[in-house]
Amino acid sequence: MIGRLLHIGARAIGLLGLAAYERLRRTPPDRSCLPRRARISLERLGPTFVKLGQTLSLRRDLLSERWLDELGRLQDNVEPFPGAEAQQAVEEAFGQSTEQLFATFETKPLAAASIAQVHRARLHNGRAVIVKIRRPAIRARIDRDMRALVATTRLLIIIAPRLERLQPLRLVDEIWANLRKETDFRQEARNIRRFNEAFRDWPSLFIPNVIDDLQTETVLVQEMSGGTGIADPSVDGPRLAEVLVDAYLNQFFVIGLFHGDPHPGNLFVTPDGRLCFHDFGLTGYLDNRTRRALAFFLQAFVSGDPLWMLDSAIDLGLLHQVDDRSAFIRGIDEILADYASLPLKDWSLAEAVLRVAHLGPDDKVMLPQNLVVLMRTLFLIESALRTLDPDLKILDTLLARGRDVMKRLLSDETGNGGRARLKAEAALAAHDLPGVLAAFLRRLQSDGFHPAIIVRHEGLETIEAHLDRTGNRLALALVTLGLYIAASLLMLHSAGPRVLGNVPLLALLGYLLALGLSFRLVGAVGRSGRL
């Protein structure tokens, strides 16, 4: 552990030194060597840090495009573990031999990554499957490396306190928790089953299902699937683009669970023309409030309504500190003006979400994980849609095909932003009104039909805090004054033992204590900036 900690610490301090050197030389960001050196360091630190870098490549809310591009180059170029170990892991997971479980099992892996590797197999009923096997001891290695990273991060904060505003410890804890989830294949199996159930009746979509009773924390057996990449010119791009839009509208606004990694390697077309999703290790979750906020943000963006966009961004969690609404509205106006000069097919909801998030202060609260995954997913969806159909008007298509899915959230019109918002908000209020009235009547009945009147005072907590501090300072001032008077009386009457020649000891102690309290009182007033 100590050796690993020293290795990680040496790499981190080296990167910090390079950052300080470039800062002193005022190296332009586009010429900085730091992103490339960071990627190389992560690769040399091993699989845990490769996954760490890949996770950081999702953080468009924190990192620049240059960092994202460099971290996006991190690949799971790791040696596969021996086939005998894979067989042993399968047998330990299910308590049966591979001969009992499968008609055939290929010991040579089909693919290997930092967390797991995949083997081909065939069940006794002839069904082709893939077997995803977690690397032996990878969970213990992740925990060891992440504990060392936490210790290193604490040290770096001491060396460079400015790093604390980026909340690095919170980020490390979040990544650690997500890595632990990713190494538990039971969660991935639940996700696959849920998606499969949700899209059971979709003839244009295929999701390879999990094999019953063949999934544990360390091993996952899934249907074998294959096909053509979405960039292949032989596929029916425009039709598949509509399928992809419909699938994600359903995921965002109906299921509330969405595939978070729709890059070209995880999307392909089956021989019978169906769009196939693969790899459900990264998924995102949207609760009802977030789904509504996302739907309203989309319509506000198309309607060109900056006020509505601001409110939706706050509800969505993109913005947290909105003390000066006018400044944020001006920023959103600029974003809308930029898009107004572009053809509609070049509009990007993903980019708009990111730009609005960046309107917050530099030390803003870090975005929650579900929004990070959402932003990444939106960028990847738009990229996939433009691959399938370069002329697709993405926002128009989202609204046109999403009205049935989002009819409780969105209006049927996208013309006037004010009327569209009023209709959508009124529909939402009407939907929630019965529940609100029922809760009110229940409270009224509990109170014996004597309604309590609740008065809210904005800023009351701040006023209470000021009054509390003022009272404490007055009390301290009175105690200090009393000490000065008591010490002066003791001095006049020369009461008690004497020190320093002829000075009464009790009077001296009283003056010193009063003087100390005076300094404390003056310091408190000075820090407040008010006399």
Sort strands 205-206 and 275-277 into parallel, antiparallel or unpaired.
Answer: parallel
| The residue to which tokens 């209006």 are assigned | 411
Cα(60)–Cα(376) distance, rounded to whole angstroms?
Answer: 8
What values do phi and psi take at 123, rounded to 5? -75, 170
Return the percent helix, strand and coil in the chain, to nearest 5. Answer: 60, 10, 30
Sign of dihedral through CA atoms 440, 441, 442, 447?
positive
Do 124 and 211 touch, CB atoms closer than 8 A? no
The active-site residue out of 145, 246, 261, 305 is 261
Cα(259)–Cα(196) distance, rounded to whole angstroms?
Answer: 12
Do 461 and 468 touch, CB atoms closer than 8 A? no
Helix (H) or strand (E) holding 503: strand 503-504
Per DSSP, the three-state class of 241 is helix
Amino acid in the structure at residue 502 = N
Of 413, 294, 416, 415, nearest to 356 by C-alpha is 294
Q: Helix 288-303 vs helix 306-316: angle between axes, to the nearest 10 degrees? A: 160
Do 262 and 291 touch, CB atoms closer than 8 A? no
Q: Who contacts 81 (Cβ-Cβ below 8 Å, separation ≥6)?
A: 112, 117, 135, 136
Q: Who contacts 420 (Cβ-Cβ below 8 Å, separation ≥6)?
A: 299, 303, 305, 411, 413, 414
Of 285, 260, 278, 297, nearest to 376 by C-alpha is 260
Could you confirm whether 346 is annotated as catalytic?
no
Sort strands 498-499 and 503-504 into parallel, antiparallel or unpaired.
Answer: antiparallel
Q: Which two tokens stand for residue 78?
A: 């790791």
Per DSSP, the three-state class of 448 is coil
Per DSSP, the three-state class of 221 is strand
Q: Indicate which residues carry an active-site annotation.
A: 261
